[in-house]
Chain A
Amino acid sequence: MTLDIEAIRADFPILERRLPNGKQLVYFDNAATSQKPQCVIDAMTHFYEAYNSNAHRSNHTLADEATTALENARNRIASYFGTSPDQLIYTSGATEAINLVAYAWARENLGDGDVIVLTEMEHHADIVPWQQLSIEKGVEVRYVPIDTESFTLDMNAMEVAVADASLVCVVHTSNVLGVRNPIEDIIEMSHAAGARILLDCAQGAPHERIDFDSMGADFVAISAHKMAGPTGIGCLLVKHDAMEQMSPFMTGGLVIKTVSTEGTTFQEGHAMFETGTPRIAEAIGWGAAVEWLDQFDMTEVHEHINDIVSWTAMQMREIPGISIYGEPEREDSSGAVSFLHESIQSQDLALLLDEGGFAVRTGHHCAQPLMDALGVPSTNRASFWIYNTMAEAEAFVEYLLYVVERFS
């Protein structure tokens, strides 16, 4: 099947949007969040219009419908990620998923003398929880450097770092560089060393099919909103044996089995970690999103995005004063091009691009250690997804050249 990009675009009403200055929106900020197809918007609206109720509580019709929809969404999402629903814990997103591992697993199982391996490529969400744990429990945190020539992880350093590690936490795909890390090798290396491994797949999941059971990671953190789903929901995929080592770190709501004045007993499995009223509408929306995504071959999706990204990066390299961070032309690279201009400051450049209708991200992208390694305080980032077109990329390159010629 060949992707019909025009048909895909028709599913996203926001792509028709014009900005206040009349310019057609060209949305290149997909690594921050993706747009949502109409079916996701409809599924969430339908929940509120037709059967809004709390789940797993009352036994009236609406409550039953809400509970069924919530759990059907779990089944659908778990199936999309190649695993069973009892290995999926709903969270608010990848950040909470990583924190869940830090507080519910690592806090119980790691202490003085244990080593956690991170990389310089990590998002702050996969750094700060471990720094906090280090302060609290005395674990050692190590950082695997990147090679600033190839913009890839130093795998020799990785091998040394994981040798005596208890936990390895690695970003599947860098939100800044678009680099897809050799996670298969890192998983094998980590398990050979006897370490658990956590993958931050917030950026990877929108670009390739994550098959949890076959990939072998112990924990996988995912955000829905970067893959056509709503904001405010994500999940932690957890292997059964790792989940058995976890204790609840937030309590209340579904987490509880019984409460008396003598004490509390807790639910088992994923319910132990899903505190309070569930994100019902969001789960239903995410279920609709994965059903929508499931109609596509993600290898074709990746190739489509990679074609655009490669072409864009090659053209941008010809624009005077533009430096690109990463190697977006690589076949395994995902949809991000991070760049700077030598004389137009990144915030200024983003504003000028916005004036032309082009939405790009600016800043340190919540990856300051990576910025330090690259020797820059921030970058501009154009990030692409399934609905972007070569025509948009051509317009972007043409407009960027115009801005550079006029303002540099």
Chain B
Amino acid sequence: MQEGKRWPACLDSVVEEFQGCFDAMERYELLFEYSKRHPTPLPVEEWTDANQVHGCQSRAHVICLVDEEGGFILRGGADAQIVQGLMAVTAMAVNGMKPAEVAEMEPEYADAMGIRSSLTPSRANGFLNMFKRVREEAALLL
């Protein structure tokens, strides 16, 4: 992340795209589109109890690892497209970062995108549970 930035520069265009949405329905529509663009998806065959994110209303699974160059990789999958879209954006944000950076990252991009304010409290908590899990796994990879 650049100094002063609250999310990686690669997310700027994504945040701007969401900020340009007319209303919540357009934001959801965009999340549906992003659900198909997860850079490192986790297919259903790899979903297990161990990698399930608890506290989500829908099923969500994550696996976090580090590549050969020490970059963080978030693999994720969800049955709900809105959750999958949020995971895709999160993966775009954290993939390639150092685990130490991921462990300290805040999900401010979701606020800037207008997503968290659109979600019901329970769905927002589900997103935060997913984000917390990613940060915890990043801390374990240090």
Contacts and interface: CB of A to CB of B under 8 A. Distances in A.
Interface string B102-123: 0000000000000000011001
Contact of A407 (B29, B79, B120): B29
A21 interface: yes
A347 B57 contact: yes
Contact of B29 (A21, A345, A351, A406): A406
Interface in B1-46: 24-25, 28-29, 32
A355 interface: yes
B80 interface: yes
Interface residues of A, number: 13
B80 A347 contact: yes
B82 interface: yes
Contacts of A344: 81
B120 to A, nearest CB: 7
Given A345-B58, A407-B32, A351 B25 contact: no
A351 B81 contact: no
Judged by DSSP, the binding face of B is helix
Contacts of B24: 21, 355
Interface string B45-62: 000000000000110000
A318 interface: no
> Which among A351, A363, A406 has the greatest number of chain B C-beta atoms within 10 A?
A351
Interface string B63-95: 000000000000000011111000000000000
Interface in A36-85: none
A352 interface: yes
B122 to A, nearest CB: 10
Nearest to A20: B117
Nearest to B85: A348
Contacts of B57: 347, 362-363
B58 A352 contact: no
A140 interface: no
B44 to A, nearest CB: 12
Nearest to A21: B24
A354 interface: yes
Contacts of B58: 345, 347-348
A355 B28 CA distance: 10
A363 B120 CA distance: 16
B80 A406 contact: no
B79 A352 contact: no
Interface of B: 24-25, 28-29, 32, 57-58, 79-83, 119-120, 123
Given A351-B28, A352-B25, A407-B32, 8 more contacts: A344-B81, A345-B81, A347-B83, A348-B32, A351-B120, A354-B120, A355-B24, A407-B28
